[in-house]
Chain A
Amino acid sequence: MSELPSRPRLRVQRRARPGEVIELRALIDHPMETGIRTGGGPAPARDMLESLVVTMNGAPLVEVAFRNGASPNPFHVFHAQVEQDSLFRFTWTDEAGRSASVEARVGVG
């Protein structure tokens, strides 16, 4: 699977108490070009992300399916309850199968 030319960013606090609900803020630069122009002008080629998969310690936490109404440079905020040291991994995949990932670790205790 090839790499997306996008730079994903993930903001998560470094430490948390057991049972704490923490915020995960993620942003990726991507044009999210639908290729739709209803005005009759020339339409650029479609270039869309298809999914964002978030895992916590390898288990699926959140799965996002993108449709045409999703913004360029997709931004998300989710909340996770952490019980132990946790590794979060965000992976975006586009409709051509290219992907980009970013990770963050939270120390719990």
Chain B
Amino acid sequence: MRVRRRLFLLTCLALPASALAADDALQAAIRQAIGDRAPQEGGIAFTAPRVAENGAQVPVTISVESAMAGDDRILAIHLFATANPTPGITSIRLHPGVGRAEVQTRIRLAQGQRVLALAEHADGRVLSAAVEIGVTSGGCLA
């Protein structure tokens, strides 16, 4: 276990500069969507295939725990790719009249990676969930 952990640390240190730049871009995209708020894990059911055959068309469903009534509303859902050439996937703003804090869409992944979902609650909290999605053939970006 100890050896494994040390190997992991070495891998982190050996990350190429481009990977670090990609992480900066991801953090900037997240800040642009939710400002300086710190997301808290939970409250989101993020459904996606464990392995997607076609990276250009990966179906995802994001379902957030909310009555969508009164003050218990989800205002927006954001999706981010952690290993695409650019991190942004989509931002979806929900207005009064939306009856369920659930959206289904399709996303494009250049390679297998972790995909991050953030949901903005009307009370100011930001909920987060992440799923690891494998990709058999990349989404036309590589």
Q: Which residues of A contact B (CB under 8 A)?
A: 21-22, 32, 34, 36-39, 56, 59-81
Q: How many residues of B contact A (CB 8 A)?
A: 37
- The interface stretch among B7-15, B43-51, B96-104, B124-132 is B96-104
User: How far is the CB of B115 from the nearest CB of chain A, in Å?
Assistant: 9
User: How far is the CB of B3 from the nearest CB of chain A, in Å?
Assistant: 34
Q: Does A75 lie within 8 Å of B89, measured CB to CB?
A: no
On whether A75 and B106 interact (CB within 8 A), knowing A39-B142, A63-B92, the answer reads yes
A22, A36, A71, A78: the one contacting B86 at CB < 8 Å is A36
In angstroms, Cα B94 to Cα A74, docked, is: 18
Residues of A within 8 A of B68 (CB): 81
A37, A72, A75: the one contacting B56 at CB < 8 Å is A72
User: How far is the CB of A93 from the nearest CB of chain B, in Å?
Assistant: 15
B80-109 CB mask vs A (1 if < 8 Å, else 0) is: 110011111111111111111011111111
Main secondary structure of the interface of A (DSSP, over half): strand
Residues of B within 8 A of A68 (CB): 84-86, 88-89, 108, 141
In angstroms, Cα B99 to Cα A21, docked, is: 6
- B110 touches A (CB below 8 Å): yes
- B58 touches A (CB below 8 Å): yes
B89, B93, B103, B110: the one contacting A76 at CB < 8 Å is B103
- What are 23 pairs between A and B in contact, CB < 8 Å? A22-B99, A34-B85, A34-B86, A36-B86, A37-B142, A59-B96, A61-B95, A61-B98, A64-B91, A68-B86, A68-B141, A69-B107, A70-B105, A71-B58, A71-B105, A71-B107, A72-B56, A72-B140, A77-B102, A77-B103, A77-B104, A78-B103, A79-B100
Q: Does B91 lie within 8 Å of A70, measured CB to CB?
A: no
- B79 touches A (CB below 8 Å): yes
Q: Does A74 lie within 8 Å of B106, measured CB to CB?
A: yes
